[in-house]
Amino acid sequence: MSNQETPSVLLTIFGATGDLASRKLFPSLYNLYQKGHLSKNFACVGVARRNLTQEEFRQRVQDSIGEDAEALQPFLDRFSYHSHDVADRSSYKALKQITDELDDRYHIGGNRIFYLAMAPEFFGTIAEHLKQDGLKSSDGFNRLVIEKPFGHNLPSAKELNDHIRESFNEEEIYRIDHYLGKEMVQNIEVIRFANALFEPLWNNRHISNIQITLAEELGVEERGGYYEKSGAIRDMVQNHILQMVSLLAMEPPIRLTTDEIRSEKVKALRALRSLRTEEVRDSFVRGQYDAGEIRANAVPAYRDEDHVDTDSNTETFVAGKLTIDNFRWAGVPFYIRTGKRMQAKSTKIVVQFKDIPMNLYAEQGETLNPNLLIIHIQPDEGITLHLNAKKSGESLETTPVKLNAANTAPTGINTPEAYEKLLFDCMRGDATNFTHWDEVALSWQFVDKISSVWEAEKESFPNYKAGTPGPVVADELLERDGFHWWDIESLELKDC
């Protein structure tokens, strides 16, 4: 993040007593404040249904940050609370009065951000009231930040978008995909466009396949009700995974501006081959976790989780092969997989380069490992390049080695949280790392085809044990093409 200070701004958080606000938003705002990024003319109004006094609310903000009151006081002074039912029109009149007063008191000049940290069914109504009841300011900027999920298929996303667009124009809407705030996801562009080494190789002449894994150890926790209607394909593929695919596949933008980058990402998503029913069956597989063990603790099957149907057909795992129909990527499969209750939490991208034309070491009975570029997104952050080198000693034997750049201490510790970066970007009006409606629509269009085939065909679930790498069908998907998943954690390579 640059050292810039944000412009003056009044931030209204709808859902300010919720989990997202306390776990992510308040600590991120505090980090921005501590680093001197937050404008002196900043104020925040928390809005939620519960009746709280100003003191009780500030206490919650303090608890979520975990610092002592004295150190926090100047920061906490900027926070106000308004008990508000988002469906009740009279609430907005009172909220308008509060925001106007705060605007004057903190010399904000009309700059407003409305952050909807609430269930999606309220997004349209809130946006409508913000305009109708005069909360949008006519002096400064107005920005609406929207959390996921943005609809549950293309028609519902379109309906929601149309509703919001009656009150906010596209430039004012900041759709959050918190993966786009992650350090190493932002690093994809830098790795590609700031290195003479990679860009010439970044195509179907030199890359054999790309693998994206987004594995979670957690199960559905208390989100069973939501997850039953979503499943892994809507919860992870439609947004985070397709965003990573678009960053890996896009053409170099002519400039690093929001519009230029978005336009290249949209083109990449447009080139994604949409699937016919038969192709869905061939190139996508799903799984659901059974009871098992995670770090030696017994965990229940998905069907035994709270708010989950005992006969549920919802997938907690997806693997698939994506094809991008353009000159750069024709013939290069992009394999993706994501799942809950996997053996380890890990998000990473593996770029596998093609084998060299001829193995001069074959006569010595050696097979050469392919070169791999690995982008570790979480929990580790860094880049690893797998090469072949000479084994030390007299013979000419080869050995795989890796060049490793890990974002561990001291810089790694200070890696800003995704929400911190996204809040900072939004305050400065940089929408690059938020999703444009065109990206949302194209992603739903792709995913809807898969969901509709899966909803019509029941799968034999559960088909993988919790604490494992997922169902065997996911391995078979790659084996058919002569590849396998690179489980990097299990590769014993020497650091260079």
Active site residues: 240
- Our CB check for ligand NAD shows the closer of 422 and 447 to be 422
Window of 81-89, 95-103, 191-199, 353-361 that interacts with ligand NAD by CB under 6 A: 81-89
Q: Does 230 bind ligand NAD (CB under 6 A)?
A: no
Shortest reach from residue 94's CB to ligand NAD, in Å: 13
Burial of 415 (0-12, 13-18, 19+ CB in 10 A): middle
The correct pick among 72, 86, 374, 478 for binding ligand NAD (CB under 6 A) is 86
Q: Does 435 bind ligand NAD (CB under 6 A)?
A: no
Alpha-carbon torsion 244, 245, 247, 248, what sign?
positive
Residue 215 · residue 342 · CB < 8 Å: yes
Alpha-carbon torsion 379, 382, 388, 391, what sign?
negative
- Our CB check for ligand NAD shows the closer of 19 and 104 to be 19
The correct pick among 60, 82, 84, 182 for binding ligand NAD (CB under 6 A) is 84
- Our CB check for ligand NAD shows the closer of 238 and 283 to be 238
Shortest reach from residue 99's CB to ligand NAD, in Å: 16
- Our CB check for ligand NAD shows the closer of 20 and 342 to be 20
Shortest reach from residue 87's CB to ligand NAD, in Å: 5
List Cα–Cα distances, 75 to 42, 88, 147, 463, in angstroms: 10, 30, 25, 50
The C-alpha atoms of residue 301 and residue 410 are separated, in whole angstroms, by 40
354: which 2 tokens?
């093609």
Kindly provide the b/e burial profile for residues 182-199, where b requires at least 16 CB atoms within 10 angstroms of the residue's own CB: bbbbbbbbebeeeeeebe
- Our CB check for ligand NAD shows the closer of 175 and 386 to be 175
- Our CB check for ligand NAD shows the closer of 130 and 271 to be 130
Q: Does 17 bind ligand NAD (CB under 6 A)?
A: yes
Residue of this chain nearest to ligand NAD (CB atom): 18
Nearest to 317 by CA among 237, 221, 229, 375: 237
Shortest reach from residue 215's CB to ligand NAD, in Å: 18
Site for ligand NAD in 290-309 (CB under 6 A): none
Q: Does 20 bind ligand NAD (CB under 6 A)?
A: yes
Shortest reach from residue 84's CB to ligand NAD, in Å: 6
Taking the C-alpha atoms of 253, 172, 119 and 379 in order, what is their torsion angle to the nearest 10 degrees?
Answer: 30
Shortest reach from residue 52's CB to ligand NAD, in Å: 10
Tell me, rounded to whole angstroms, the distance of Cα 368 from its chain centroid: 35
Amino acid at 452: S
Contact code string over 94-123 relative to ligand NAD, x by CB under 6 A: -----------------------xxxx---
Shortest reach from residue 55's CB to ligand NAD, in Å: 18
Amino acid at 131: K
The C-alpha atoms of residue 407 and residue 404 are separated, in whole angstroms, by 10
The C-alpha atoms of residue 44 and residue 160 are separated, in whole angstroms, by 26
Helix/strand number for the chain, H first, E second: 15, 19
The C-alpha atoms of residue 383 and residue 185 are separated, in whole angstroms, by 11
Window of 85-93, 250-258, 366-374, 431-439 that interacts with ligand NAD by CB under 6 A: 85-93
Strand partners, 145: 115, 174
Site for ligand NAD in 135-174 (CB under 6 A): 147-148
List Cα–Cα distances, 345 to 12, 218, 301, 337, 348, in angstroms: 33, 8, 18, 13, 10
- Our CB check for ligand NAD shows the closer of 113 and 118 to be 118
The correct pick among 1, 69, 71, 87 for binding ligand NAD (CB under 6 A) is 87
Shortest reach from residue 12's CB to ligand NAD, in Å: 12
Contact code string over 32-71 relative to ligand NAD, x by CB under 6 A: ----------------xxx---------------------
41: which 2 tokens?
């003319």
How many residues of this chain bind ligand NAD (CB under 6 A)? Answer: 21
- Our CB check for ligand NAD shows the closer of 63 and 479 to be 63
Which stretches of the chain bind ligand NAD, using CB under 6 A? 15-21, 23, 48-50, 84-87, 117-120, 147-148
